[in-house]
């Protein structure tokens, strides 16, 4: 594993596939021009709208999104995570919320179907029922082993509240873990940063958290603050509340230092 720059992209995605892909391409280009070799896009980056509209367009969204990710990875010669988009499940009228990691040669490296679905009555008056249209993934997320970039683990948004998933990734040897999200503005202001820092600290790995921000559609507002956090819990980059890119260096020497100074994973009893 070498030292390299990673990017967490922040978007305001809307119910318009082409508009979102154009925005994503511009931000990928911005990240690459700053030297990023590993780039993460947020959950719902290619489409963020009403559930019925997502289902109606799911085939087109899935096909065009995968093609887009392959083209971007190849054009810019970077490894790209598409942090969450709908992929239809055969014959049941639902989709998987899917994260996809693509190599610079356009080959698929890892795929993960979001396991924890956001069925929550948020105190701001909004109700979310992700399971009404999304099928929960039934497998723990994978870790992709890369000699150059380190071992990369996947997760999506609401997963961040379930530490056992992140301990699984640590057990599998993860050095860097993605948490692409579309966190609600209401919950994000209190929980987003502290949950990300907790996952990084307790597992001593880097966390890269691409995010949605602003008003995406109707009453749906997202928190923003895409960030990159080191294994000590230090915030290396934070985009704030506007679309943009968080860039930070991923250092194997920092991983080794923190794991040597705080070898908590070696002290586990249970």
- Relative to beta strand 108-113, strand 95-102 is antiparallel
User: Of the listed 43, 54, 70, 251, which one is catalytic?
Assistant: 43
In angstroms, what CA-CA distances link 261 with 6, 196, 205, 234, 258?
A: 24, 20, 13, 15, 5
| 108 is annotated as an active-site residue | no
| 130 is annotated as an active-site residue | no
Q: How far apart are CA 81 and CA 8, in angstroms?
A: 10
User: Of the listed 66, 70, 114, 251, which one is catalytic?
Assistant: 114
Q: Do 213 and 221 contact (CB within 8 A), yes or no?
A: no
Q: How far apart are CA 97 and CA 180, in angstroms?
A: 12
Q: Which of 191, 190, 186, 237 is nearest to 10 (CA)?
A: 237
Q: Which of 115, 116, 81 is nearest to 99 (CA)?
A: 81
Residue 218 CB coordination number (10 Å): 10
| 251 is annotated as an active-site residue | no
Q: How far apart are CA 150 and CA 3, in angstroms?
A: 9
Q: Which of 128, 251, 247 is nearest to 183 (CA)?
A: 128
Sign of CA dihedral 44, 158, 69, 234: positive
Q: Indicate the length of the chain as a whole number.
A: 270
Q: Which of 262, 254, 122 is nearest to 188 (CA)?
A: 122
User: Of the listed 66, 70, 157, 251, which one is catalytic?
Assistant: 157
Active site residues: 43, 114, 157
């Amino acid at each position: 594993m070498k030292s390299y720059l990673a990017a967490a992209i922040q978007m305001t995605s809307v119910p318009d596939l082409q508009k979102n892909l154009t925005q994503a391409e511009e931000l990928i280009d911005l990240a690459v021009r700053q030297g990023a070799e590993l780039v993460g896009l947020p959950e719902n980056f290619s489409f963020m709208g009403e559930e019925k509209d997502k289902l109606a367009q799911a085939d087109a969204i899935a096909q065009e999104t995968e093609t887009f990710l392959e083209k971007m990875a190849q054009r810019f010669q970077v490894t790209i995570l598409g942090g969450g988009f709908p992929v239809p499940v055969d014959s049941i009228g639902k989709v998987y919320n899917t994260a996809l990691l693509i190599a610079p040669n356009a080959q698929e490296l890892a795929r993960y179907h979001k396991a924890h679905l956001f069925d929550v009555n948020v105190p701001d008056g909004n109700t979310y029922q992700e399971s009404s249209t999304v099928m929960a993934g039934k497998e723990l997320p994978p870790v992709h082993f890369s000699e150059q970039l380190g071992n990369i683990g996947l997760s999506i948004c609401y997963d961040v509240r379930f530490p056992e998933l992140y301990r699984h990734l640590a057990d599998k040897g993860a050095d860097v873990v993605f948490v692409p999200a579309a966190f609600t503005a209401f919950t994000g202001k209190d929980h987003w940063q502290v949950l990300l820092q907790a996952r990084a600290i307790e597992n001593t790995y880097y966390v890269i958290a691409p995010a949605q921000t602003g008003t995406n559609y109707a009453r749906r507002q997202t928190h923003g603050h895409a960030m990159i956090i080191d294994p000590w819990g230090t915030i290396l980059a934070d985009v704030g509340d506007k679309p943009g890119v968080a860039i930070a260096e991923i250092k194997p020497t920092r991983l080794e230092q923190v794991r040597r100074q705080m070898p908590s994973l070696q002290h586990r009893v249970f």
